C-alpha cells in the first residue's frame, strides 16, 4: 500500500492530473473527519460482547509498506487436522449506515491506489489507526475460526466478534526468510513462529484442493510502477511463495463468509440477509478450446516437447502452468513460458459483485463473499454488517431500507472497480509516454532499440512485454506489416502472424526488437515498428 499524502498540494503533478480526471480527492469533508476523531477517542474496546482473544498470538502479514492492516492470522494443529483463525478488522462497527462516514465510504466505493499514493475509503485516523490491526495494541475484529481435516478440507467455521492484539506487523519477505531458514531468522522462537511454520502446509493443502480448476490465480511476477519525483518508474517484483499461501487463507475466509450469508437465505420466502456476493463465471468451452489449439500451434512453432507444452482440457490449467520449464533457467524457454502463462490468464472473465449467489470460478466456491478487505471496500463494510446481524450481535435494520442500501452498495462497488482499472490504465499510459517521448528527439536510425517478448497476437495487435523497462506495449499489425513490407494475417491457432506465403513472421513467445516511429496524436497512440522480421523467412 502507498504512503500517506495528507495534503493534496503535495501530490506530484502527474498523479494529481490522474486524480482530477476521475474527480478523486484524498481529503475528507470536515464532518467525516470529526466522526472519525470521535471514534478514535471511543473505539469500543470495552464492549462486553467482545470475546477476549488477546492471548492468541495473531500477526499480520502484508507488503512491507502496507499501513491499513485488514487481516491477522493464527494457525495451529488440531488433532490430525488444522485450525485457522483469521481476524478481520471490525470496520462495520465504526462505519454504520446513517452516518456521514458511511455515506462518504459509499460515495468512494473503495480505496484507490496509484504509484506512491493511496486515496483511502476511510480517513487514515481509522484505516491506518483505530480500525487497523496494528501490532501491540488491542483492536476489534471479526474472527473466522475454521477447522480443516488432514487434507485441508473444511470441517466447519465459527464466526465471532473479538478483541485481539497482534504480536507483529510482518512483511512477506520476513516471513519467507523465516520459512526458508528458521534458525537464521530473528523471528525464530517468537510465540507466533509455530503458527507461521504451518502457513505453507495449510496453503499447499488448500492449493491442491483448488488444482482442478482451469484458472491461474497467482502470478509469479508483478510489475510495480513507482514515482521518483515527477518521473514514473517500473520494475519487476518476484512474488514470494508465502504470498500464495497467504492468499489461500483469504480465499478460505471469503468462501466461508459467503456460506454464512447464503445459509441464512435458503428460505427464499423469508431471506435473513441482504447478501452481496462476488461472482466469477467460468471460461467458456469455446475459449478453452481456443487456448488448447493455440498452445498446440505454439508447440509446433517453437519445436517444443508436446508432452510438456501441449495442454489438454482434461488437465488442471493452474497445475500445468506451474510445471512449465524454463523460468529463470533458459532465456528462450523463459520467454515462451511467460507468454504461455499470460495466455492462460487471459481465458478468465471478470468477476462482478451481485445480489444473487453464483459460482466464483477462480476460487471454486459457491457462494463467495468479499469479507477480507472491509477498510478498503464498501462491500466489506456491508457484508460484515449483515454477518453481525445474523449472529445476533446487533439489532437488524429495516429490511426495505437494507435492500435499497444493498443496491447502492452494489452500484458503488462495481463502479469503483472500473474506476481503479481506469486509474491503472492512465498510469501505465503515462509510463509509456515518458519512455517513448525522448526517442522522438533523435533521428530514426539513432533511436533506442528495445527488446521484449511477444505475449499475444490478434488480427490487429501484437502485445509485447519489454525486458527493460518492464512495461507492456501494443504494436499494431498494420504498422508492423508496413515496416516489414508484408501483409500479415492471423494463423488458424491464433499463435502467430503469417506472411503471404503462410510462413510465420512473429509468434507468441518470440523475442522481438522494436523502435518508436512516431506519435499518432489524432489516435492517441504510439506508432512502433519491429527492427527486423522476428522469424526470418525460410530459404
CB-based contact 440:516 (threshold 8 Å): yes
User: pLDDT (tens digit, 9 = 90+) per residue, 91-142?
Assistant: 999 999 999 999 999 999 999 988 888 899 999 999 999 999 999 999 999 9
370 Cα distance to chain centroid: 13
In this structure, are strands 117-119 and 138-148 parallel, antiparallel, or unpaired?
A: unpaired
pLDDT at 233 exceeding the cut of 70: no
More confident residue, 363 or 88: 88
What pLDDT score does 535 carry? Answer: 92
State the pLDDT confidence band at 6, using cuts at 50, 70 and 90: very low
Q: Which three cell numbers stand for residue 339?
A: 507468454
Summarize the confidence of residues 467-486 as an average pLDDT: 93
Q: Choose the weakest-confidence range: 34-38, 346-350, 531-535.
A: 346-350
User: Whose CA is closest to 73, among 155, 168, 151?
Assistant: 168
pLDDT higher than 60, residue 215: no
**Cα angle, residue 184 at apex, residues 179 and 190 outer, rounded to 5°:** 70
**Are the beta carbons of 82 and 152 closer than 8 angstroms?**
yes
Task: Give the H or E element holding residue 385.
Answer: helix 378-390
pLDDT for position 147: 98
C-beta separation of 228 from 183 below 8 A: no
Average pLDDT over residues 148-160: 95
- The SS3 of residue 82 is strand
Q: Please work out, in degrees rounded to the nearest 5, the angle formed at the alpha carbon of residue 358 by the alpha carbons of 145 and 284.
A: 125
Q: Which three cell numbers stand for residue 134?
A: 496494528
DSSP bridge partners of 461 = 476
Specify the pLDDT at position 446: 97
**Grid coordinates representing 415?**
463502479
Give the three cell numbers for residue 456: 499475444
Alpha-helix residue ranges (DSSP H) falling in 303-352: 306-309, 317-322, 331-345
| Stretch 324-342: mean pLDDT | 82
Q: Could you give the CA distance from residue 10 to residue 82 in angstroms, rounded to a whole number?
A: 48
pLDDT band at 445 (very low <50, low <70, confident <90, very high): very high
**All domains of the chain, ordered by start, with CATH?**
8-278+351-430 (no CATH), 438-530 (2.40.50.140)
- Whether the per-residue pLDDT at 158 is higher than 90: the answer is yes
pTM above 0.85, yes or no: yes
Of 227 and 375, more confident: 375
Q: State the chain's mean pLDDT as an integer.
A: 90
Identify the pLDDT of residue 346: 86
Q: What is the pLDDT of residue 326?
A: 60
The whole-number pLDDT of residue 320 equals 84
* pLDDT bucket at 539, cuts 50 / 70 / 90: very low
pLDDT of 8 above 70: no
Amino acid at each position: 500500500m502507498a504512503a500517506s499524502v495528507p495534503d493534496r498540494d503535495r501530490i506530484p503533478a502527474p498523479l494529481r492530473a490522474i486524480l482530477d480526471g476521475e474527480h478523486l480527492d484524498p481529503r475528507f469533508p470536515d464532518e467525516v473527519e470529526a466522526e472519525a476523531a470521535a471514534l478514535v477517542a471511543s473505539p469500543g474496546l470495552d464492549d462486553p460482547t467482545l470475546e477476549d482473544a488477546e492471548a492468541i498470538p495473531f500477526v499480520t502479514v502484508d507488503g512491507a509498506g502496507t499501513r491499513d492492516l485488514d487481516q491477522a492470522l493464527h494457525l495451529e494443529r488440531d488433532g490430525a487436522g488444522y485450525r485457522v483463525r483469521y481476524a478481520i478488522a471490525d470496520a462495520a462497527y465504526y462505519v454504520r449506515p446513517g452516518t456521514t462516514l458511511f455515506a462518504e465510504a459509499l460515495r468512494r466505493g473503495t480505496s484507490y491506489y496509484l504509484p506512491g499514493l493511496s486515496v483511502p475509503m476511510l480517513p487514515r485516523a481509522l484505516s491506518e489507526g483505530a480500525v487497523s490491526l496494528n501490532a501491540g495494541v488491542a483492536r476489534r475484529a471479526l474472527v473466522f475460526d475454521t477447522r480443516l481435516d488432514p487434507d485441508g478440507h473444511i470441517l466447519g467455521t465459527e464466526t465471532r466478534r473479538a478483541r485481539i492484539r497482534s504480536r507483529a506487523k510482518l512483511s512477506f519477505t520476513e516471513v519467507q526468510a523465516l520459512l526458508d531458514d528458521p534458525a537464521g531468522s530473528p523471528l525464530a522462537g517468537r510465540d507466533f513462529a509455530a503458527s507461521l511454520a504451518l502457513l505453507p502446509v495449510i496453503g499447499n493443502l488448500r492449493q491442491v484442493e483448488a488444482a482442478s480448476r482451469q484458472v491461474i490465480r497467482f502470478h509469479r511476477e508483478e510489475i510495480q510502477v513507482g514515482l521518483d519525483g515527477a518521473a514514473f518508474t517500473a520494475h519487476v517484483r518476484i512474488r514470494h511463495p508465502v504470498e500464495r499461501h497467504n492468499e489461500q487463507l483469504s480465499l478460505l475466509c471469503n468462501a466461508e463468509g459467503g456460506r454464512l450469508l447464503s445459509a441464512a437465505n435458503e428460505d427464499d420466502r423469508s431471506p435473513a440477509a441482504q447478501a452481496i456476493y462476488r461472482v466469477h463465471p467460468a471460461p467458456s468451452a469455446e475459449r478453452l478450446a481456443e487456448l488448447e489449439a493455440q498452445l498446440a500451434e505454439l508447440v509446433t512453432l517453437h519445436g517444443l516437447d508436446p508432452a510438456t507444452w501441449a495442454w489438454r482440457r482434461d488437465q488442471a490449467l493452474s497445475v500445468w502452468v506451474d510445471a512449465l520449464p524454463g523460468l529463470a533457467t533458459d532465456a528462450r524457454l523463459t520467454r515462451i513460458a511467460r507468454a504461455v502463462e499470460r495466455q492462460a490468464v487471459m481465458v478468465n472473465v471478470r468477476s462482478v459483485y451481485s445480489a444473487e449467489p453464483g459460482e466464483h470460478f477462480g476460487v471454486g466456491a459457491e457462494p463467495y463473499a468479499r469479507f477480507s478487505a472491509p477498510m478498503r471496500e464498501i462491500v466489506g463494510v456491508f457484508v460484515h454488517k449483515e454477518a453481525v446481524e445474523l449472529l445476533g450481535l446487533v439489532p437488524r435494520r429495516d429490511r426495505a431500507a437494507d435492500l435499497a442500501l444493498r443496491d447502492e452498495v452494489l452500484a458503488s462497488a462495481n463502479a469503483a472497480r472500473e474506476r481503479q482499472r481506469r486509474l491503472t490504465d492512465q498510469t501505465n499510459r503515462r509510463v509509456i509516454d515518458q519512455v517513448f517521448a525522448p526517442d522522438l528527439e533523435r533521428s530514426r536510425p539513432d533511436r533506442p532499440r528495445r527488446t521484449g517478448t511477444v505475449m499475444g497476437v490478434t488480427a490487429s495487435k501484437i502485445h509485447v512485454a519489454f525486458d527493460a523497462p518492464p512495461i507492456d506495449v501494443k504494436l499494431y499489425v498494420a504498422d508492423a506489416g508496413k515496416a516489414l513490407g508484408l501483409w500479415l494475417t492471423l494463423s488458424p491457432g491464433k499463435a502467430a502472424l503469417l506472411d503471404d506465403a503462410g510462413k510465420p513472421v512473429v509468434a507468441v513467445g518470440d523475442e522481438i526488437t522494436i523502435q518508436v516511429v512516431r506519435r499518432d496524436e489524432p489516435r492517441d497512440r504510439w506508432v512502433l515498428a519491429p527492427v527486423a522480421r522476428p522469424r526470418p523467412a525460410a530459404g
